[in-house]
Amino acid sequence: MAKKAIIIGAGPAGLTAGLELLRRTEIVPVILEASEEIGGISRTIRYKGNRMDIGGHRFFSKSDRVMEWWVELMPPELAAQGEPGSEAAANPATTAPSAPSQPAEISYQGKRRVVTVPAHLHEESPLRGMGPLHHAESDETEEEDSAEDAAETVVVPEPENPDLVMLIRPRRSRIYYLRKFFDYPITLTANTLKNLGLVRMVRVGTSYMVSRVRQIRPEKSLEDFLINRFGRELYLTFFKSYTEKVWGTPCHEISAEWGAQRIKGLSLTTAVKHLVKKLFRATSEGGDLAQKGTDTSLIERFMYPKFGPGQLWEHVAELVQQKGGAIHKGWKVDRLNFAEGEPLRVTSIEAVRADGERRTFAGDYFFSTMPMRELLRAMKTAVPANVLEVSDGLQYRDFITVGLLVDRLKVTEPDGGLLKDTWIYIQEPDVLLGRLQIFNNWSPYLVSDADQKAGKVWIGLEYFCYETDDLWKMADEEMKKFAIAEVAKIGLLNAADVSDAHVVRVPKTYPAYFGTYDRFDELKTFTDGIENLFLVGRNGMHKYNNQDHSMLTAMAVVDGLVAGKVNKQALWEINTEQEYQEEKDKKQL
């Protein structure tokens, strides 16, 4: 009889584990999802023909393995005549007649990726938002490319389904502060100098120089981490209030590990270097999709599923079921049963539906992406008191996004067009609003055909809170009015221009690096000792991972099962934000 893997959660980590098991082993995955939706926090919310991305998900990774996994499932799309956002739609005369397919070349991580695409006239813009794509004519590389960089070529077929594709999107994020826009990350441009003023800029520069010669050691808190990289003045201007708005906790009480997870490698120096390279270094028009040498806070282009992130994960779920795996939605796991004796070993889990129906799922291997606090409370075995104390003390930040359909924004590009930002970070201290997304810019297909034709703008207002806060408890209609009033207050739109709104609440979106997190090793040591239980993903590991990191944790477990031994310590080392684990391994060979 085939062995079974019971997987708790149908988010990126759980679904990746399921598909990898089916592709590489004889183990049959059974995935249990507490909600009725697929994708976890990477799901796509649908509302009256419009779609919302919770928090915004750039499909970018420094991992070849993840990039290839995504591109295999959803190849890059060509902008075709009549599609929203394509040059061909705006200029039909430039559209080429149909022609036989021929290979064309894109690249990411410095490696060539050959894509079979129809021939196009030179004037056409084949990849949405990325500029012309040059057809492959030779194997020559630029002089700066190393032999290692140019070593790999992967053939990706033309998409069979025109909807099951990745768009190539330009990334633009800015900060809104003092009712003005600043580059994100902060760069020393004329706009920054004008907005901040000469006196403040002198203070920023002086403070930064001081931070370079007087580093805070040891680096205990997020405040220390940020001051060391940006200087105290810039930290106080752009980082302190926003970070505390997001986390609801003073920066000096947040572990420096949060910075290592999310913005390691970024500083004022790297931001300036990036600007200089961008201005003066010639690059190919096709570009490098993964931009391997670039810190993730600086990437300029990313892949994005045509209909939002949930589209990819729904596709993965379909593949899991087609290949013989099972996915059960609406089942909340509340009990893990154990065999007697040592080492600790899970024998089955129990789950319950909203109507009270209960089922037991026996298995050989168990993957968990559920919050660790809930996982430990569900264990029907003797959990040491100190371990329960740590798990009970873990904290999470919750998330509310309010979708607004508006006729127009008050602020525009210089030419009068829609702002080109994907994200806008709201630094204004007089509102609770933390971030704003313009869904039109993530993908025009997130906006319904009717609203797109009417020129509507579909935006998401993001709030960070706790489930115990008054904000979380607001009724939907009250929350809509509150959000509209805030974005109008800071001058981004007129309340009268809002034609519809939708509220989405997402609990435990961000695992926090405070509370009992300073004792996390006690919890990790205990869970690592459970022989056939594997913690993967963001909440599963209480680690602020991006979705590619979460995928890599699941892949690493399957690697271990194939090899006959899972190295659990290696799982915790994924997401150093210098190089992912597979890149470390390459260097050691």
CB count, 10 Å around CB of 203? 18
Asked if residue 239 and residue 320 are part of one domain, the reply reads no
How many other CB atoms are there within 10 angstroms of residue 297's CB atom?
Answer: 17
Share of the chain above pLDDT 70, in %: 77
The one-letter amino acid code at 226 reads L
Instruction: Report the predicted TM-score, pTM, of the whole model to 2 decimal places.
Output: 0.81
Question: Do residues 153 and 300 both lie within one domain?
Answer: yes
CA distance 551 to 559: 12
Q: Which amino acid is at 105?
A: E
Confidence of residue 277 (pLDDT cuts 50, 70, 90): low
- Res. 157 pLDDT band, cuts 50 70 90: low
Report if residue 274 sits inside a domain.
no
Are residues 455 and 417 located together in one domain of the fold? yes
Q: Closest by alpha carbon to 80, among 59, 101, 94, 100?
A: 94
Per the domain annotation, does 528 fall within a domain? yes
CA distance 205 to 198: 10
356 and 435 housed in the same domain: no
Which letter does DSSP use for residue 131 in this model?
A: B
pLDDT in tens, 418-460: 999 999 999 999 999 999 999 999 999 999 999 999 999 999 9
- Cis (ω within 30 of 0) for the bond into 218? yes
Please tell me whether residues 229 and 196 are part of one structural domain: yes
The Cα–Cα gap between 370 and 332 comes to 10
314, amino acid identity:
E
Stretch 135-152: mean pLDDT, rounded? Answer: 33
Give the structural domain span for 453: 396-511
pLDDT of residue 3: 97
**Which one of 275, 307, 339 terminates a domain?**
307
- Same domain membership, residue 192 and residue 130: no
Residues pairing with 166 in the sheet: 76, 305
The number of CA neighbours under 13 Å toward the Cβ of 551 is: 25
Higher per-residue confidence, 431 vs 281: 431
User: Are 368 and 536 spatial neighbours (Cβ–Cβ below 8 Å)?
Assistant: yes
State the pLDDT at residue 158. 73
Does residue 505 sit within a domain?
Answer: yes
| Mean pLDDT within 238-246 | 86
Give residues with Cβ within 8 angstroms of 175, minimum separation 6: 181, 182, 183, 184, 186, 238, 424, 425, 427
Do both 133 and 228 map to the same domain?
Answer: no
pLDDT in tens, 71-110: 899 998 865 433 444 433 333 322 233 333 444 343 433 4
Q: Are residues 165 and 178 in the same domain?
A: no
- Residue that finishes a domain, picked among 492, 511, 530: 511
Write down the pLDDT at residue 156: 60
Domain-ending residue, one of 511, 546, 575: 511
Same domain, 74 and 148: yes
Instruction: Give the model's pLDDT for residue 10.
Output: 98
Better-predicted residue by pLDDT, 310 or 170: 310
50 part of a folded domain: no
Provide DSSP, 249-307: S-GGGSBTHHHHHHSTT--HHHHHHHHHHHHHS---SS-BSS-TTS-GGG--EEEEETT
Sequence-distant (6+) residues with CB within 8 A of 394 are 371, 372, 373, 511, 512, 515, 516, 517, 523, 542
Find residue 424's DSSP bridge partners.
174, 436
Count the helices and strands in the chain (H runs, E runs).
21, 23
Cα atoms in the 13 Å half-sphere on the side-chain side of 118: 16
Cβ neighbours for 32, distance < 8 A, ≥ 6 positions apart: 6, 7, 8, 9, 10, 328, 331, 333, 349, 351, 361
Model confidence pLDDT, tens digit, residues 312-339: 999 999 999 999 999 999 999 999 999 9
Q: Are residues 412 and 483 in the same domain?
A: yes
The 10s digit of each residue's pLDDT in 490-515 is 999 999 999 999 999 999 999 998 89
Measured distance CA(22)–CA(324) in Å, rounded: 8
2 pLDDT exceeds 80? yes
426 and 497 co-located in one domain: yes
Among 54-63, 367-376, 580-589, the minimum mean pLDDT is found in 580-589
Q: Return the CATH number at 406.
A: 3.90.660.20
Cβ density class 530-542: b for 16+ within 10 Å, e for less: bbbbbbbbbbbbb
CATH number of the domain within which 537 lies: 3.50.50.60
Tell me if 269 is assigned to some domain.
Answer: no
Tell me the C-alpha distance between 442 and 168, whole Å: 10
Would 49 be classed as within a structural domain?
no
- Name the band, by pLDDT with cuts 50, 70 and 90, for residue 125: very low
Please determine, for residue 254, whether its predicted confidence score (pLDDT) is greater than 90: no
Residue 47 lies in a domain: no
**Most trustworthy range by pLDDT among 249-253, 300-304, 531-535:** 531-535
Please give the average per-residue pLDDT across 268-273, as a whole number.
54
The one-letter amino acid at 513? Y
Least confident span in 186-190, 219-223, 452-456: 186-190
Give percent of the chain with pLDDT exceeding 90.
60
Stretch (H or E) spanning 190: helix 190-196
Average pLDDT in the chain? 82
Distances (CA, A) of 436 to 83, 419, 484: 26, 12, 12
Q: In whole angstroms, give the CA distance from residue 249 to residue 181.
A: 26
Looking at residue 474, its pLDDT comes to: 98
**Would residue 13 count as lying in a domain?**
yes
Residues 526 and 491 placed together within one structural domain of the fold: no
The residue ranking higher by pLDDT, 50 or 186, is 50
Closest CA to 501 of 484, 518, 519, 520: 484
How many domains does the structure of the chain reveal?
4
pLDDT at 467: 95
